[in-house]
């Protein structure tokens, strides 16, 4: 679960990429990185562990020259938290390719063996993103042309889709040629693109294109959201901002990750033509119907309290439909990271205690319905129920 972005512009992209990564920061707080390509045919790379604001200082931004680049924020669900696994990742052949990846490959171990046997390519980290990069590079190398065009890039993407299994939404910069992006045939992870027209400095107009994990980032940077990249589809944007799209995989069942609409994505994003905000509202309405169907109006709930942050949108229509009060019962420390990826149960429990604190007067003597967006390990759930009881709740429903 990460955030990716790629921009082809008529002006320097360093600040644009930085702003886009800030808009995608919720998708990954472990590391951040960006790479640009400049007119001297050189790559400029900066990446490291930490938040976007901590990784990029003014001296780094000044070195990130060029009008084309890709960026990444990481949330490690595979591999390690080492800075060596921060993205974008790079291979020098063919052409020089820098790739940012969101997802998880389920056949990574086999692919690692294949890329060595078929292309003598060494994978130096435990990251499946490096494996995906090498698979794409190997497929593009097989095309064997000096100046790759859209048809060659799409042939390489088709090869990736034939070999890779699992979830992947990737943006890859091909030195001196453009940016390619692709999404797995099942559309598990999101990817979208937008465009805008700008003056070309010669009295004409030219197109700038942005590709990102979420439409909200595209809108924030002043691009017009065009659409989602469809499952199994690829897009290639050349240095002039001209783009071509093509389906690069056989039709397959569309199975997007429900966690995006429940938890991961920003509420101002639209994914696969579905508003994240509206989806969460409807979840609350559906949950209310289930409660009323089972218990009727005599449900005994006095107040609905969300667990910050993403369950709030679901809890509001739920309370309204049940005819009870909606209240904020927990204060969240926004400087504590997400707990379900922390190593060790004791550390996760301690972090929950530091992250959330109950407002006692909202619990005392009441039957409380707590609304949580998801249960991964149950760490947050158990600790929150304990806090609610300690704060004086008569009954706690989750």
- The string of DSSP letters for 250-274 reads --------HHIIIIIS-TT-EETTE
Q: What local confidence, expressed as pLDDT, does residue 98 receive?
A: 98
Give the Cα separation of 114 and 194 in Å (integer): 35
Does residue 5 surpass a pLDDT of 50?
yes
Work out the mean pLDDT of the chain and round it to a whole number: 92
Is cis: bond before 298, omega within 30 of 0?
A: no
Does residue 15 surpass a pLDDT of 50?
yes
Give the Cα separation of 300 and 284 in Å (integer): 18
Which residue is it, tokens 């559309």? 187
Q: What local confidence, expressed as pLDDT, does residue 345 receive?
A: 54
pLDDT in tens, 293-322: 999 999 999 999 999 888 999 999 999 999
Give the Cα separation of 9 and 395 in Å (integer): 57
Q: What local confidence, expressed as pLDDT, does residue 264 receive?
A: 92
Give the Cα separation of 315 and 306 in Å (integer): 6
Percent of the chain having pLDDT more than 90?
82
Report the pLDDT averaged over residues 218-231: 98
Report the pLDDT averaged over residues 177-181: 97
**Residues labelled catalytic:** 2
How many other β-carbons are positioned within 10 Å of the β-carbon of residue 22? Answer: 17
Report the pLDDT averaged over residues 162-174: 97
Report the pLDDT averaged over residues 6-23: 97
Does residue 343 surpass a pLDDT of 70?
no
- Provide the 3-class DSSP secondary structure of residue 157: helix
Q: What local confidence, expressed as pLDDT, does residue 374 receive?
A: 84
The phi-psi region of residue 3 (left if phi > 0; otherwise alpha if psi is between -120 and 50; otherwise beta) is beta
Looking at per-residue pLDDT, the higher value among 203 and 162 belongs to 162
Q: Do residues 45 and 71 lie in contact, with contact meaning Cβ atoms separated by under 8 Å? A: no
H helices of 41-147, in order, are 52-55, 58-63, 108-119, 128-143
Kindly compute the dihedral angle of the four CA atoms of residues 333, 337, 338, 341, in this order, to the nearest 10 degrees: -150
Domains present along the chain, CATH in parentheses: 3-271 (3.60.20.10), 285-396 (3.40.50.2020)
| H/E segment holding residue 69 | strand 68-74
Q: Do residues 285 and 321 lie in contact, with contact meaning Cβ atoms separated by under 8 Å? A: yes
pLDDT in tens, 266-287: 999 999 999 999 999 999 999 9
Give the Cα separation of 39 and 272 in Å (integer): 36
Q: Do residues 44 and 66 lie in contact, with contact meaning Cβ atoms separated by under 8 Å? A: yes
Report the pLDDT averaged over residues 221-227: 98
Half-sphere exposure of 165 (CA within 13 A, CB side): 7
pLDDT in tens, 65-76: 999 999 999 987
Looking at per-residue pLDDT, the higher value among 75 and 181 belongs to 181
Percent of the chain having pLDDT more than 70?
94
Least confident span in 45-59, 125-139, 228-242, 370-384: 370-384
Q: What local confidence, expressed as pLDDT, does residue 350 receive?
A: 60
In total, the chain counts a number of residues equal to 398
DSSP percent split of the chain into helix, strand, coil, nearest 5: 35, 30, 40
Is cis: bond before 311, omega within 30 of 0?
A: no
Q: What local confidence, expressed as pLDDT, does residue 156 receive?
A: 97
Q: What local confidence, expressed as pLDDT, does residue 362 receive?
A: 96
- Taking the mean position of all CA atoms in its chain, how far away is CA 300? 39
Q: What local confidence, expressed as pLDDT, does residue 84 receive?
A: 81
Give the Cα separation of 45 and 34 in Å (integer): 6
Report the pLDDT averaged over residues 97-114: 95
How many other β-carbons are positioned within 10 Å of the β-carbon of residue 137? Answer: 26
Kindly compute the dihedral angle of the four CA atoms of residues 96, 99, 105, 107, in this order, to the nearest 10 degrees: 0
Q: What local confidence, expressed as pLDDT, does residue 162 receive?
A: 97
Within 8 A by CB and 6+ apart from 290, the residues are none
Kindly compute the dihedral angle of the four CA atoms of residues 314, 319, 320, 323, in this order, to the nearest 10 degrees: 160
């Amino acid at each position: 679960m990460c955030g990716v972005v790629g921009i082809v512009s008529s002006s320097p992209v360093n600040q644009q990429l930085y702003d886009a990564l800030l808009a995608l920061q919720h998708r990954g707080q472990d590391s951040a990185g960006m790479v640009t390509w400049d007119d001297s045919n050189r790559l400029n790379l900066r990446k490291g562990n930490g938040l976007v604001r901590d990784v990029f200082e003014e001296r780094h931004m000044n070195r990130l020259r060029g009008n084309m680049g890709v960026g990444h924020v990481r949330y490690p669900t595979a591999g390690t938290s080492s800075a060596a696994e921060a993205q974008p990742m790079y291979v020098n052949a063919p052409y020089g390719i820098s790739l940012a990846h969101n997802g998880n490959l389920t056949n990574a171990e086999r692919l690692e063996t294949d890329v060595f046997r078929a292309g003598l390519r060494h994978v130096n980290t435990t990251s499946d993103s490096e494996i995906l990069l090498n698979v794409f590079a190997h497929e593009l190398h097989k095309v064997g042309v000096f100046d790759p065009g859209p048809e060659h890039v799409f042939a390489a993407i088709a090869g990736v889709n034939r070999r890779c299994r699992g979830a992947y939404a990737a943006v890859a910069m091909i030195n001196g040629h453009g940016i390619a992006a692709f999404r797995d045939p099942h559309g598990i992870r999101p990817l979208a693109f937008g465009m805008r027209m700008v003056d070309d400095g010669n009295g004409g107009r030219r197109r700038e294109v942005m590709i990102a994990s979420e439409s909200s980032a595209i809108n924030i940077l002043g691009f017009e959201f065009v659409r989602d990249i469809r499952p199994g589809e690829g897009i290639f944007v050349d240095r002039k901002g001209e783009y071509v799209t093509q389906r690069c995989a056989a039709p397959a069942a569309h199975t997007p990750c429900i966690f995006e609409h429940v938890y991961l994505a920003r509420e101002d994003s639209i994914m696969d033509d579905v508003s994240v905000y509206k989806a969460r509202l409807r979840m609350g309405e559906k949950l209310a119907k289930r409660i009323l169907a089972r218990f009727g109006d005599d449900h005994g709930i006095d107040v609905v309290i969300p667990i910050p942050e993403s369950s709030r949108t679901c809890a509001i229509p739920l309370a309204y439909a049940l005819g009870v009060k909606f209240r904020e019962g927990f204060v969240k420390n926004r400087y504590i990271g997400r707990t379900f990826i922390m190593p060790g149960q004791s550390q996760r429990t301690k972090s929950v205690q530091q992250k959330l604190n109950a407002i006692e007067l909202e619990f005392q003597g009441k039957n409380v319905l707590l609304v949580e967006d998801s249960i991964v390990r149950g760490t947050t759930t158990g600790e929150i129920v304990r806090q609610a009881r300690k704060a004086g709740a008569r009954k706690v429903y989750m």
